[in-house]
Amino acid sequence: MTSALFSIEIQSVLGTLLPFLLMIGLGIFYRLRPAPGFSAESLRKHIAAVALHILFPCMAFRIMAQAPWDWDLLRIPLTSLGGTMGGLLLFWLLQRGIQAVRGSSLTPKTWAALALASAWGNFTYLGIPLIQARYPDSPEQGIRVALLFDLFSGTPSLFFWSAVFGALLLASPEAGLPRKRSVLREAALSLVRMRPLWAAILGLMTGELLRLTSLQIPTPVDSTLKLAGTALPPLMIFAIGLALPRPRWSHIPKVIPSVLIKLAALPLIAFQVGSALNMDSTVLKMSVFESALPTMALTLALSDRYGFDTEALAQSIFLSTLLLPISLSLLGGFGLI
């Protein structure tokens, strides 16, 4: 890729990202100058609750009800899972190499936190608006890819591996096997309570039923679901700004490996997996785009729950978000997205 091509691509990426970066900036501004009596953290939690329990399920149901039953229902989640597992494997191998060279290793809490940072991206809350902006000719197909990438693979595997790390790395020896079982049980219950996942499954079933009976979702209902889905992306982009931490430069060196895996290695793994699964070229590019997104903010909540190194994880989110324009420009320049 020539410097001229990279320059053109980064201008295109920045043009796409600029409105979202400014929206994130508004969230950061509110965090620095909150309204009296209503902190940024409190506002973020309220937005997350409305999004998770109302807006996101409405979007998931509508998009999946309109989606066809095809092999992408398997290909896209498998590509997501392949990237996640590849990221975790690379992180483990890299940390083993660093330990062999330097003779020191991360603490278990930091290891678990940075493992999450290396493998799980912000597939929906950031991914949906960005993928729509990147592929304006296929906005609903982009949303479908993001939902399948996240709800049918990304978030379930995140809950599973967070619980595994919590049980195997952090459970005290005195806690024993019952404590480990309770952690895994808690993760399973969290998945069962995921309203967007069940809304997406219900949408798939409803869509197939409507096709078999030649019926349609009533227009007022469809319009309401569409309006709710339209409200989701700007709210969540704003909430990312509320959640982004202040940079702590002393933490940056230790988070760089996980950030490089997340932004550079995972898209290449996703490209190889998707190509092996004979994905359509547009769907493949969308899947690679999804895999290239910065670390998911949900990892912070799970890090808090299981006692991981939340500060290191927060700095990974900050750095991966900061470097996103460069990484997307490189991927675009090589024709991968």
pLDDT recorded at residue 97 = 87
Closest by CA to 320, choosing from 255, 273, 276, 266, is 255
We report the CATH number of the domain holding residue 178 as 1.20.1530
pLDDT recorded at residue 320 = 93
Provide CB contacts within 8 A for 15, sequence distance 6+.
Answer: none
Provide CB contacts within 8 A for 111, sequence distance 6+.
Answer: 95, 105, 169
pLDDT recorded at residue 140 = 86
CA torsion angle 120 125 128 130 (round to 10): -90
Q: Which residue has the tokens 């896209």?
A: 76
Q: Domain span at residue 243?
A: 3-333
- What is this structure's pTM? 0.84
336's tokens = 């991968």
| 190 neighbors 159 (Cβ within 8 angstroms) | yes
Domain count, the chain: 1
pLDDT recorded at residue 172 = 47
Question: Quick count: other Cβ atoms within 10 Å of Cβ 235?
Answer: 15
pLDDT recorded at residue 45 = 83
Closest by CA to 236, choosing from 36, 55, 35, is 55
What are the tens digits of pLDDT across the range 223-235? 999 999 888 888 8
Residues of the chain with pLDDT under 50: 172, 174-178
On the CB side of 155, how many CA atoms lie within 13 Å of its CA? 24
